[in-house]
Structure 1
Amino acid sequence: MPAPHEPLHLRIADTALPPGTPAPSLPELPPLPNLQALLARMRLQTTLEVDEDSPDTPFEQALARAHGLPGAPGHVAWAAFETGTVGTPCAWLRPCHWQVGMDQVSLLEPSELALGEAESRALLAALQPLLQDDGLTLRYLAPDRWLAQGELLRGLGTASMARALQQPLTRELLTVAPDPAQGARLRRLQGELEMLLYLQPVNDAREAARRYPVNAVWIEGAGALDAPVPPRPGVRTDTRLQTPPASTADYLRAWQAIDAEALAPLLAAQRNGAQVELTLCGARRALTLTTVRGLLPGFMNKIHPLRLSHLRNQL
């Protein structure tokens, strides 16, 4: 539990809509009793506006602020933070599939790639010698996430995969190096990685089984931390809405699960007198709500209650 003076803060990433749903027309949600009870005692505290061309999503920017992470958007050392690494430049390497169309290139959802552990480890082993030639070490952490470390990653600007999934791939979404020589090395390395992936038996087997091959590696969360940044214990996240649901029914069920599993404990803490905060994140904004205190604010909240439908339309 967080320290008594530290608020309990839940952030919900709600950037995904059911396939085929126009962005302005959000599906009507079922009753969410815990969320409705929370909103009855909350007010809007801050609004984080994020440009469409920002390298990080509102959820990621809000989360970086919550943990006190240094760095502008695109320069937050997420890999170093999430692995507790100090001093050494790190980055997440994400095996992925680039879909090349007639007019644009887009990134396939990792859930559709469905890369298995054995496949991922085989690809990592094949790519590791090439990365070592450029002074990078590579370590397996999950099928869709490898940890890279080395000086080539210092000062690197990257767009998050979550942001890249929301739009066609452009030069601006690719890595930005602080000096031309470093940028040239990275471009060469990425090109060589793509050629090496093309030759892998893992991809031959996937294509024979009518599955997407891994044809690229996405770099995100690069940088170094000069000092430890401990995760703040009061910060909670719920990311189950980040992956696009298969249907509107799945989307609604996900909200019901969030209400029962993530928002119920927040409501219980609020009713026990704890200071709680809730941040709702979308593609454009992150709205942070905080508990109201005192008789007058509580009375005004009853007259002008927060409505989830209005909040969601702002995201």
Structure 2
Amino acid sequence: MSLPTVSSKPIKHWIVPFAASLSEPCQHALPRLAADNALPHLRRVLSQLQEVQRIEGDEYALSMPHERVLARAMGWPDSDGLMPWASWWAAQDGLVLEAGKTWGMLSPGHWLMGRDHLTLLDPATLGLSEAESRTVFDAIRPLFEEDGWTLLWGSAQRWYAAHPSLSGLPTASLDRVIGRNPDLWLTDHSEARMVRRLQSEVQMLLYQHPVNDAREAQGLATVNSFWLSGCGAVPHSVTWPQEVILVNDLRAPMLADDMPLWLEAWASVDATVLKDMSDALDAGQAIQLTLCGERHAATFAPVPATGLSARLWQSLKRLTSSGSGSDPVPLLNSL
């Protein structure tokens, strides 16, 4: 289903991931957004738009809803767990991956061993330096190359790997796994066995690596494994259209289950991004807003005005709508 257009000009499309979650901390925090003075610009924007598309999913999907929305914007297939995000991230890191190979992204990280399960910590919170990352990368590379893999270093948090076994291999998004038990997100695909073996070998190799010894001495989390995601052939495009604006402010606090910070981030997005959207609507500009949760993504756009009376009605609605629109919490809960 294609989104409606109101003019021949590209329509600015704001995409907001992590707008809500089914997690217990988020469910306790969401009622705070029901207060009359909460998110006034979101209320006003939603009062002038209608839902034109909803991408359905569930909390057990390998890919996040916002990844599916962005994949569609770039003209990629949005098959669950099969979107070539490694190529996109490599472009952000200044790399051009070799076409004709299937690439994946390796995220070096810490798998925290609890009393009865593992938890994958957010790699961004490790504070891994470039020197540490390159040293660990060089240490594990022979394990992969022995099996015919090609490895490239992209950044402290992102390495890239190519191997024929990655073709058609579904993998869970890093955003899906952070803060959760990675064992639950390792697929039973036949080609995943090699990945699991390499994860075990990397864990053993890094157990007493000098980089980890030094980090432990400083009270820092070690690098003891990696997560593979974003596998696929290099796509025709690795940039999304200029009119697409990703608002990623809610990601870090949501993944950290830091709900006070998440509520602050929502207030900041409302006061800046959503205020700009509200001003654009007041100026008669066509816009789109997609709110993404843990399961679904909902896109909102103006109703096309096809006649003089419809245009006059929309103008009147813009002028008379106030910041005290309806409570957004039921909508956020539906995501």
TM-score, normalised with respect to structure 2? 0.80
1:311 matches 2:302: no
Q: Deviations over 1:175-226 (max 9, x none)?
A: 554xx4x444333322222211213111111112222111110000011136
Retained in 1: the 8 A contact 2:53–2:298? yes
1:174 matches 2:186: yes
Retained in 1: the 8 A contact 2:120–2:182? yes
Structure-2 change in CA distance of 1:90 and 1:261 (3 Å) = farther
1:254 matches 2:265: yes
Partner of 2:65: 58
1:157 matches 2:167: no
Partner of 1:72: 79
Structure-2 change in CA distance of 1:241 and 1:4 (3 Å) = same
SS in 2 for 1:254: helix
| 1:223 pairs with one of 207, 227, 232 | 232
SS in 2 for 1:147: strand
Partner of 1:134: 147
Q: Deviations over 1:29-59 (max 9, x none)?
A: 4544443332232111222221222111222
Shift of 1:90: 1.1
SS in 2 for 1:142: coil
- Structure 1 residues 231-270: aligned runs within 5 Å: 231-244=240-253, 247-270=258-281
| 1:279 pairs with one of 290, 293, 302 | 290
Retained in 2: the 8 A contact 1:87–1:227? no
Retained in 2: the 8 A contact 1:68–1:229? no
SS in 1 for 2:16: strand
Partner of 1:114: 127
What's the Cα RMSD here? 3.1
Q: Residue 186 of structure 2 aligns to which amino acid in structure 1?
A: L
Structure-2 change in CA distance of 1:60 and 1:143 (3 Å) = same
Structure-2 change in CA distance of 1:248 and 1:174 (3 Å) = closer
Partner of 2:3: none
For structure 1, which segment, 266-275 or 161-170, has the greater mean C-alpha deviation from structure 2 after superposition? 266-275
Partner of 1:214: 223
CA distance in 2, matches of 1:13, 1:252: 14
Structure-2 change in CA distance of 1:80 and 1:252 (3 Å) = same
CA distance in 2, matches of 1:128, 1:81: 22
Retained in 2: the 8 A contact 1:79–1:91? yes
Partner of 2:299: 288
SS in 2 for 1:170: helix
CA distance in 1, matches of 2:78, 2:26: 34
Structure-2 change in CA distance of 1:51 and 1:16 (3 Å) = closer
Structure 2 unaligned runs (5+)?
Answer: 1-6
Q: Residue 278 of structure 1 aligns to which amino acid in structure 2?
A: L
Shift of 1:95: 0.7
Q: Deviations over 1:233-288 (max 9, x none)?
A: 22111122111267544223212322344334433443443321111111122111
Partner of 1:26: 30
For structure 1, which segment, 243-252 or 157-166, has the greater mean C-alpha deviation from structure 2 after superposition? 243-252
Structure-2 change in CA distance of 1:75 and 1:210 (3 Å) = same
TM-score, normalised with respect to structure 1? 0.84
CA distance in 2, matches of 1:16, 1:124: 35
CA distance in 1, matches of 2:197, 2:31: 45
Shift of 1:163: 0.9
CA distance in 1, matches of 2:166, 2:258: 39
CA distance in 2, matches of 1:255, 1:78: 26
For structure 1, which segment, 264-273 or 49-58, has the greater mean C-alpha deviation from structure 2 after superposition? 264-273
Shift of 1:94: 0.3
1:6 matches 2:10: yes
